[in-house]
Structure 1
Amino acid sequence: MTEEKLINAVGELIVGEGFESLGVRKVAEQAGVNKTLIYRYFESLDGLIYAYMKKHDFWLNTPLERPDVSDIKVYLKMFYRREIAEYRDNIALKRLKRWELSSDKDFVVEIRAQREKNGVQFMEVMSGFAKVDKEQLQAISALMDAGIVYLAMFAENCKMYNGIDIQSDKGWDQIAKGIDVLIDIMIK
């Protein structure tokens, strides 16, 4: 329960005060626990941030085995809608992703490697359903995923992108429908 309080406090502080406000003392105060517990459970503030990212990262928490579905296109359309929803809804995760872009901390490198491993595994499974070759599938999927993450981060400070209101449900529905078209093109 204490670990969970500390992990949640990271997200609360990032949303309330920004990533730059994170510190051992502040996180402990937010969680209502002694700061020595951060060291006991996570070894450091970096360890706690790592735990938050592992708990909330889309690609680290998505089952990647071959889906047992009758319509793979429907499955993939829902998959990307879940990714959109997760990045739109989790302000702390968006801010951590933005911070991560300029970090080379060991735990960030480890998370990137885990995401890459999961992404490659996902591509292996999906390539069995694709009309396009694996390299094209990888490129299209990379663009869709990167676009979702980028636009979700960008939407925090910018209303429009390419004429689409990226701060509105209507704009994100337009993006999701564009992804649907790509899925229809590349999946059998």
Structure 2
Amino acid sequence: MKVVNMEKDEKVRRNRVKTTQRIVEALEEVIAERGLEGVGVNRVAEKANVSKVLIYRYFGGMEGLLEYYVKMGKLFPVFTTTVLDQIRPLHESDVARIWYRQVIQTYRYFRTFKAAREIIKASVIENDSIAETTARAQDEEMTRLVSQLSFVKGADIQAISAVVIGAMNYLTIMAQNDRTMISIDLRSEEGWQRIESAVKTIYIALNKLAISSKEVELELQSAHLPIAQW
């Protein structure tokens, strides 16, 4: 009887995982088609071909589903302790590479994936509970990511990251709306190559400033570990 119950539980678990994946994929499609403002339980349930009762049962509603989506690791990577140890800089000058690579990779993904671009617009949508929940989940994930990858003590990494990430969010939204910034065509690859080069320049300069500062301490690897590909 115990074996039968275990098999039944495993089947239920697999079905839930598959259903959750369908719901998440449906959510992405609805966001891409209608934007965050057009998202609703009925639309997602219809797209996923599931009862809306399941969305409430699994996630508590649309706000819970969006929070789950933002935090599932697809938009913002979740690093294990082992990976973080591998990413940790070996030399003082390696810190800049860690910072600018993560920013550039993240926003390349946002620019190529419409649902992700719509998610970052949540912070500029006013008087909307779904947007507020989504923006809060984003901020929690970005705070976690900045904390994991700072590898610096004695500097206000949060404020520095807020300026850079805020600018990248804004530029990404401007690009989606076919706008320019200081005459840079944000719709073009050439324009974004210039933005990415500027991000590299900023972080390299910050890295040099950190190295020369007596108040700042860089957290380096204590042993030579293989550099993770991320």
Please indicate the TM-score interval, normalised by the length of the shorter structure: 0.7 to 0.9
Q: Which of 136, 140, 150 is the equivalent residue of 1:114?
A: 140
Provide the residue aligned with 2:155 in structure 1.
134
Aligned residues: 180
Q: Which of 109, 120, 124 is the equivalent residue of 1:97?
A: 120
Provide the residue aligned with 2:180 in structure 1.
160
Matches within 5 A, 1:1-188: 1-55=18-72, 56-58=74-76, 61-63=77-79, 65=84, 67-70=87-90, 71-101=94-124, 102=126, 103=128, 107-108=133-134, 111=137, 114-115=140-141, 117-118=143-144, 121-122=147-148, 125-128=150-153, 134-135=155-156, 137-187=157-207, 188=211
CA distance in structure 2 between the aligned counterparts of 1:91 and 1:21, rounded to whole angstroms? 14
CA distance in structure 1 between the aligned counterparts of 2:145 and 2:101, rounded to whole angstroms? 17
SS of the residue corresponding to residue 151 of structure 2 reads helix
Does 49-58 or 145-154 show the bigger shift?
Answer: 49-58
CA contact (8 A) 1:76 1:183 kept: yes
CA contact (8 A) 1:28 1:35 kept: yes
Structure 2: segments with no counterpart, 5+ residues:
1-17, 212-230
Letter matched to residue 79 of structure 2: P
1:36 positional shift: 1.7
SS of the residue corresponding to residue 176 of structure 2 reads coil
SS of the residue corresponding to residue 134 of structure 1 reads coil
Indicate the structure (1 or 2) with the bigger Cα radius of gyration.
2
TM-score, structure 2 as length reference: 0.67
1:107 positional shift: 3.9
Deviating beyond 3 angstroms after TM superposition, the runs of 4 or more aligned structure 1 residues are 103-110, 137-140
CA contact (8 A) 2:110 2:116 kept: yes
1:72 positional shift: 2.8
Letter matched to residue 42 of structure 1: F
Letter matched to residue 175 of structure 2: A
Structure 1: segments with no counterpart, 5+ residues:
none
CA distance in structure 1 between the aligned counterparts of 2:109 and 2:52, rounded to whole angstroms? 30
CA contact (8 A) 1:53 1:93 kept: no
Instruction: Deviation per CA, 1:64-113: give whole Å up to 9, x if none.
Output: 84523443332223112112212212322222322343345674475256
1:134 positional shift: 0.8
CA distance in structure 2 between the aligned counterparts of 1:28 and 1:104, rounded to whole angstroms? 20
Sequence identity of aligned pairs in percent? Answer: 24
CA distance in structure 2 between the aligned counterparts of 1:23 and 1:161, rounded to whole angstroms? 33
CA RMSD of aligned residues (A): 2.6
CA contact (8 A) 2:71 2:141 kept: no
